[in-house]
Structure 1
Amino acid sequence: MPRSLRRVRPSLAALALVLSAVLSVALVPGPFGAARAQGPAPYLMSTEEAVLLQQAQDYLNSVRSLRGRFQQASSTGNQASGTVYMRRPGRMRIEYDPPAEVLVVANGSYVIYEDGELQQVSYIGLGDTPLGILLRDEVKLSDPAITVTGMRRQAGLMEVDIVETDAPGQGTLTLVFAESPLELRSWRVRDAQNVEVTVNLLRPRFNIDLDRDLFSYRERAGFRRSD
């Protein structure tokens, strides 16, 4: 993988690609399990926005599986593409196109990040990344563990900013929906260093059968686990 791509490789936090429709994956570089900070200030939404947020939650919960192409771009100018598979609860697979030698698998317990160039594998607890928010069996945007910190509407799109209430330093996940009809279009993840990764879904297919083996990971010979 080119050095420039490796610096911004979808670090597990970001990938909060799935979507929860998802989910919303991709990833942002940086340390995981960041130090806990003072609780984030919740967004004070209008009655209309509260209704729209409930509709977005219902939509996310209606999506149990997904397969689609994606394009990923970071605020540092790097780009990548690939294929994402998601099955809730807890399962996701992100395959990056060459020249990136990157595979990400969420197996229900861990997010596993395989770097083919470095021949290295990292295991991160699913609950320690923003990805865990959207891969839950049931997404509850009113859950005390989640704080909605912002909402914006313009040009037929609605954006919702979400953080983990007890660990906002892990990053902000922004879901971008088309409003009519309601549909997830993209998501962004911004880390503590203000690096932002945007993932756009291309021709996604929802609620389809997916092979369970997609979400199993077997370490490759010669690969080592990172600390």
Structure 2
Amino acid sequence: MACFSLMTAQVGAAGEDASKPLNVPAPTPATPPKPAEPAAAASGSAWSAEVAPAKAGEGLTLDARQTELVHKVSGYFSDINTLQGNFVQTSADNKRMKGKFYVKRPGRFRFDYARPSRQIVVSDGQYLAIQDLDLNNEDRVALDETPFRLLLRSDVDLVRDARIMEVQESEDLLVVGLVDKNPDTPGQIKLFMSTKPELELKEWVTKDAQGLDTRVQVSDLTKSGEIDASLFKIQSIGRPMSTP
């Protein structure tokens, strides 16, 4: 599966001066995985509320151009009915997992990790479950306790609902960093959007409480077509590690 070209874009700290030009360094070779290692676990911090909280009061005062760009990102997500494609998840220690994903707004998505992993991340619109079929357990949280609720709600308006931490624009790339204005929804997420030939999601990065980044890159996107609703049903397995 082809990995898209923003794989090694460096992510600045939340609240970085948006007036600085976007700096995307050249890609560096990835460390090949050792064949004997077991499959990496799907990072809970990439999906759950276990991400670094932002300090109260942080956020940019948007100028007219920044406001326009954030509204464009809101419009992109609002226009999505269904979305599917491939993904590559890279953790802070450079371990990679890949697979296929499916989204049906509002609120529903599923990430199926390719073997040797037997892990699934699925949201039914109310709860998000991180399931490990090898260990026969799951970690379940309310979707509203994750930063993804901002992007999956029926009416996406990031200017209204998020504190914008960063807006950077280059010739063919738009980067928006944000946190939820709701104090009960912790978490920081940074979106990378290509702008040519049209606006399209390329990746996002979440930061955990230790300041470590988890990057999820997406490719081969299809924004139309029916998706089987049963994919978004959370099937109980074993004993949950945590429950809402």
Q: TM tier, shorter chain?
A: 0.7 to 0.9
Task: Give deviations 1:7-59, integer Å, cap 9, x for gaps.
Answer: xx231x52xxxxxxxxxxxx37x847x8x764241212321221122122112
Q: 1:176 to 1:31 in 2, by over 3 A?
A: closer
TM-score, length of structure 1 as denominator length:
0.82
TM-aligned CA distance change 1:37 to 1:206, over 3 Å = closer
Matched, 1:226 2:241: yes
RMSD: 2.4
C-alpha distance 134-37 of structure 1, shift in aligned 2 (>3 A):
closer
Give the match's secondary structure for 1:54: helix
Structure 2 match to 1:24: none
Superposition TM-score, scaled by structure 2 size: 0.76
Q: Which amino acid aligns with 2:222?
A: R
* Largest Rg, 1 or 2: 2
Residue 202 of structure 2 aligns with which residue? 185
**Residue 16 of structure 2: aligned partner:** none
Q: Give the distance between the partners of 2:150 and 2:57, measured in 1 at CA.
A: 16
Cα distance in 2 between the residues matched to 1:96 and 1:31: 20
Q: Which whole-Å CA distance do the structure 2 matches of 1:85 and 1:59 have between them?
A: 16
Gaps of 5+ in 2: 1-35
Mapping of 1:37-76 within 5 angstroms? 38-76=55-93
Say how many residue pairs are matched: 206
Instruction: Percent identity, please.
Output: 24
Q: Which aligned pairs between 1:1-227 and structure 2 lie closer than 5 A?
A: 2=37, 5-6=40-41, 9-11=42-44, 13-14=45-46, 27=47, 31=50, 38-144=55-161, 146-167=162-183, 170-180=186-196, 181-220=198-237, 223-227=238-242
| Farther off after superposition, 78-87 or 50-59 | 50-59
Q: Give the C-alpha shift of residue 200 in structure 1.
A: 1.4
Unpaired runs of 5+ residues, structure 1, are 15-26
Give the residue type in structure 1 aligned to 2:193.
F
Q: Is the 8 A contact 1:120 1:226 kept in 2?
A: yes
Task: Using the TM superposition, give the Cα deviation of residue 119 of structure 1 relative to its aligned residue in structure 2, in angstroms.
Answer: 0.9
Q: 1:217/1:168 Cα in 2 relative to 1: closer, same or farther (>3 Å)?
A: closer
- Provide the C-alpha distance between the structure 1 equivalents of 2:131 and 2:210, rounded to a whole number of angstroms: 23
The residue that corresponds to 1:19 in the other structure is none
